[in-house]
Structure 1
């Protein structure tokens, strides 16, 4: 069972809840929700850092994080060594973030990605393996 961590600020809270339910419907995932637990205003860096720490430490294999646009929380998560958080707004971006970049955290914007598209992005992101090969060399250069 794949261990996933979910985290969101207030702008991503509603989409996080939708994706959490979607993951339960898919099955095969042990999901740990580390907040926020309401739409009350909070600071996205706190949640980006918490999710990144969970993935970097091995407590979770991958993470899915949410804020209003996905931008701020992904920037915060990417400050943690070993994290490759990709803010995806399309199915193609989700596929490439895994296949070419071995992204270990997916960021989604709760105010810009509709729930049905978000579900498709999540499914593709979870199902796409890292291609390795020349991409492995490039990922290693990221640090």
Structure 2
């Protein structure tokens, strides 16, 4: 797998990947999420491709205090092959270069397979709960 920054032409394949991995939600427009990311730290929006096929994605950010990672996806037929590990290695490398001391992720309740993946990469429960508030509706 070759890891590279997202390009505008990747939009539809990335949205299809997110849908195949169950990452999209009715209240989030994935195309708007992509446009927002391209306006802020686009170099931290990475994709992985094999033989010209987009098979992985990760959207990261660093606010000067913590790093965050979203939309980590690996094509269902390629899961378990180490692609997510390789992609996250590159995300973590880039965040470290920016001086990021810690990276956070959020896992939706009931997504036990994601928990196993993240635990295998050394992530642990922070004993904190996440809360959110929508400021700009996508609809």
TM-score, scaled to structure 2: 0.34
- Tell me which structure has the larger Cα radius of gyration: 2
Larger fraction in helix: 1
> What TM-score do the two structures reach when normalised by structure 1?
0.33
